[in-house]
């Protein structure tokens, strides 16, 4: 392809309102342009890379006997109403009304559609299991779109769905999918971590997510420095056998803590580590208020608490709600002499505190030398806190570290959630109606494309891996008005095209400096420069990855290229 004939609008300057490398480089190198907030054009170079990513995914899906189809983007509201998504995801849905007043969502994902379709057509266990997939645009009215394609409102996604007669069959497909995803990311050269995480939406089961580790990521991953263990920080369990101090229990005392607002301030004032402080939080559950005790240096994990108290929704109690049971402000709450009917949950770490410090349920007063059982009761100890860097890995191997990650895919066991909501059933071997057991498997293609740029770049631009580059070779002609250069370039173009290389030929009437910096930005793996030494049949070669420069004779070029691309 001649560069003069294609559309690669490069930019010299770093665009304003961009923070991360992939966003900046994809704009600067002419891969994407914004149309509206969170909505982008994929320009020709991007389209080429994305087609390559899609091809890898398609191949891996087909290996699993998943069949490709295409569901509509317009989704009738009725199905989404049956699963409740029409109202629970209200904010995220782009809603449309047609000329007859019928309501549609511009498809966020297709669980309802596919479950209803399969239910209408597959009536017997004989036709199961069945796995389908599609590659399509997905629409989410993201409240704060940012970072280019990493957090956008129109994404290219591969979504697959599987239908089974049993959890065992689902588990098999789920494991196959996890492996397929690992294969996909390996083939795409994208470094990812497989992470245990919480289900989203209606799904309460843990799922496996794939994160590309990157400072551009917005999720925090807790991973072991010595094993494959990784989880989102909301999910990671804390598995520590806290040792109780051998310190003798002292007598409880009141201290005045006026003007001390934070745990840090209280700890400093009393000259103790914040791990001696017992934080007491009042939380509102479906069954009313509860108290939760957390060590001063820890943070409550609401999701763990929600699971322990078995409440589908929980939130911190408001000041007004706290006032209904206690007459002090929230900074002075403590576990001693709480109302007798208030259930008390405590994180496992709290049990090990001897002579602790806590609020006295009186404004501006704390208690010191507080001890469990002697001074206060706990109804249930559990793992209730967020994991921290330095904690031992829950699998017993190594220490937890944190990293930021870009969510690039997830596999979820949905079980019968959607099929029950939609009355989607088949007839089993005994002639009985059974809901389908289902799984859902997503890969975010446009996000992977960005994540790859995060991983493969330097100060000058993108550095595409060979298999994903939009073209294999960037051929630069320094001066298209020089007949010798022009002729050698055209000769090379035809020669290499006949060897099945895809070339981008910079035939533009631009300064050499512009051509070089554009080539660095665009990031093809190898650059062939036809310049002054064209008359000797000599070509300058630059490898984008290493920056190494060599010279090749015209006669040796096909052989050299073959050995480079074989590597």
Residues 282-311 as x/- pattern, contact with a copy of itself by CB under 8 A: ------------------------------
Q: What are phi and psi of 164, to 5 degrees?
A: -140, 170
4 near a copy of itself (CB under 8 A): yes
Which CB sits closer to a copy of itself, 50 or 350? 50
DSSP tag of 376: B
Which span (114-122, 213-221, 432-440, 536-544) binds a copy of itself, by CB under 8 A?
114-122
- HSE-CB at 67 with a 13 A cutoff on CA atoms is 6
69 near a copy of itself (CB under 8 A): yes
141 near a copy of itself (CB under 8 A): yes
480 near a copy of itself (CB under 8 A): no
258 near a copy of itself (CB under 8 A): no
A 10 A CB-CB count for 459 gives 6
Number of residues that bind a copy of itself (CB under 8 A): 60
Which span (29-37, 287-295, 323-331, 370-378) binds a copy of itself, by CB under 8 A?
29-37
75 near a copy of itself (CB under 8 A): yes
Which CB sits closer to a copy of itself, 100 or 271? 100
Which span (66-74, 349-357, 371-379, 437-445) binds a copy of itself, by CB under 8 A?
66-74
For the chain, the first-to-last Cα distance in angstroms comes to: 25
DSSP tag of 394: T
Tokens of 99: 């000329």
432 near a copy of itself (CB under 8 A): no
Which residue of 27, 61, 80, 154 would you call a contact of a copy of itself, by CB under 8 A?
154
490 near a copy of itself (CB under 8 A): no
- CA separation for the pair 246, 252 (Å, rounded): 17
Smallest distance, a copy of itself to C-beta of residue 67, A: 4
Which CB sits closer to a copy of itself, 128 or 231? 128
Answer yes or no: are the C-beta atoms of 381 and 298 closer than 8 Å. no
Which CB sits closer to a copy of itself, 28 or 295? 28
445 near a copy of itself (CB under 8 A): no
Which CB sits closer to a copy of itself, 130 or 272? 130
Buried (b) or exposed (e) across 417-447, using 16+ Cβ within 10 A?
bbbebbebbbeeeeeeebbbbbbbbbbbbbb
102 near a copy of itself (CB under 8 A): yes
Smallest distance, a copy of itself to C-beta of residue 362, A: 45
Which residue of 14, 15, 19, 35 would you call a contact of a copy of itself, by CB under 8 A?
35
Residues 6+ apart with CB under 8 A from 108: 89, 92, 93, 138, 139, 140
48 near a copy of itself (CB under 8 A): yes
Nearest to 31 by CA among 504, 566, 551: 504
Contacts of 513-516 with C-beta under 8 Å, sequence gap 24+, read 515/476, 515/478, 516/476
Answer yes or no: are the C-beta atoms of 212 and 408 closer than 8 Å. yes
Answer yes or no: are the C-beta atoms of 45 and 8 closer than 8 Å. yes
Smallest distance, a copy of itself to C-beta of residue 471, A: 12
15 near a copy of itself (CB under 8 A): no
Smallest distance, a copy of itself to C-beta of residue 554, A: 26
Smallest distance, a copy of itself to C-beta of residue 68, A: 5
76 near a copy of itself (CB under 8 A): yes
- CA separation for the pair 80, 103 (Å, rounded): 10
Residues 6+ apart with CB under 8 A from 153: 37, 38, 39, 139, 140, 141, 142, 145
Smallest distance, a copy of itself to C-beta of residue 28, A: 13
- CA separation for the pair 28, 461 (Å, rounded): 8
Tokens of 209: 């997510």
Contacting residues toward a copy of itself, per CB under 8 A:
1-2, 4-7, 9, 33, 35-37, 39-44, 46-48, 50, 65, 67-76, 91, 94-99, 102, 104, 106, 113, 117-118, 120-122, 126-127, 130, 132, 134, 137, 139, 141, 143, 153-154, 509
């Amino acid at each position: 392809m001649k560069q003069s004939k294609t559309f690669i609008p490069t930019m010299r300057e770093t665009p304003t309102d961009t923070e991360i490398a992939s966003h900046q480089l994809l704009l600067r190198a002419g891969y994407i342009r914004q149309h509206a907030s969170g909505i982008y054009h994929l320009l020709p170079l991007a389209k080429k890379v994305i087609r390559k990513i899609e091809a890898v995914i398609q191949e891996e899906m087909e290996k699993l006997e998943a069949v490709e189809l295409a569901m509509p983007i317009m989704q009738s509201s009725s199905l989404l109403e049956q699963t409740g998504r029409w109202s629970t995801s209200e904010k995220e849905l782009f809603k449309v009304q047609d000329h007859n007043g019928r309501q549609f969502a511009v498809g966020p994902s297709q669980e309802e559609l596919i479950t209803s379709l399969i239910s209408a057509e597959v009536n017997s266990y004989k036709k199961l299991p069945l796995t389908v997939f599609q590659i399509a645009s997905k629409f989410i009215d993201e409240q704060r779109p940012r970072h280019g394609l990493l957090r956008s409102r129109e994404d290219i996604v591969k979504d697959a769905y599987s239908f089974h007669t049993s959890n065992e069959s689902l588990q098999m497909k789920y494991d196959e999918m996890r492996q397929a995803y690992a294969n996909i990311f390996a083939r795409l050269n994208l470094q990812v971590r497989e992470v245990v995480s919480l289900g989203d939406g209606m799904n309460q089961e843990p799922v496996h997510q794939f994160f590309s580790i990157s400072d551009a990521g917005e999720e925090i991953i807790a991973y072991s420095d010595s094993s494959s263990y990784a989880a989102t920080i909301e999910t990671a369990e804390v598995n520590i056998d806290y040792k109780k101090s051998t310190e003798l229990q002292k007598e409880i005392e009141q201290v005045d803590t006026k003007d001390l607002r934070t745990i840090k301030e209280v700890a400093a004032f009393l000259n103790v580590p914040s791990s001696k402080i017992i934080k007491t939080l009042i939380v509102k559950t479906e069954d009313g208020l509860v108290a939760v005790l957390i060590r001063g240096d820890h943070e409550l994990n609401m999701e763990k608490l929600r699971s322990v108290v078995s409440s589908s929704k929980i939130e911190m109690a408001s000041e007004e709600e706290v006032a209904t049971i206690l007459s002090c402000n929230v900074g002075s709450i403590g576990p001693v002499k709480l109302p007798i009917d208030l259930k008390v949950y405590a994180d496992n770490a709290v049990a090990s505190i001897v002579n602790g410090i806590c609020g006295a349920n009186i404004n501006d007063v704390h208690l010191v030398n507080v001890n469990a059982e002697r001074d206060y009761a706990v109804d249930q100890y559990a793992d209730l806190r967020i994991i921290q860097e330095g904690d031992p890995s829950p699998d017993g191997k190594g220490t937890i570290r944190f990293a930021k990650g870009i969510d690039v895919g997830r596999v979820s066991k949905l079980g019968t959630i959607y099929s029950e909501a939609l009355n989607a059933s088949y007839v089993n071997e005994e002639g009985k109606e059974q809901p389908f057991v289902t799984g859902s498997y997503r890969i975010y293609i446009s996000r992977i494309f960005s994540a790859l740029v995060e991983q493969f770049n330097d100060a000058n631009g993108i550095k595409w891996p060979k298999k994903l580059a939009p073209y294999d070779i960037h051929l630069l002609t320094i001066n298209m008005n020089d007949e010798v250069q022009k002729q050698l370039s055209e000769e090379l173009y035809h020669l290499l095209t006949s060897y099945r290389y895809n070339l981008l030929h910079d035939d533009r009437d631009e300064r050499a400096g512009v051509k070089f910096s554009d080539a660095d930005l665009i990031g093809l793996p190898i650059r062939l420069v036809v310049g002054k030494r064209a008359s000797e049949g000599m070509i300058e070669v630059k490898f984008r990855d290493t920056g190494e420069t060599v010279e090749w004779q015209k006669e040796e070029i096909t052989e050299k290229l073959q050995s480079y691309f074989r590597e």
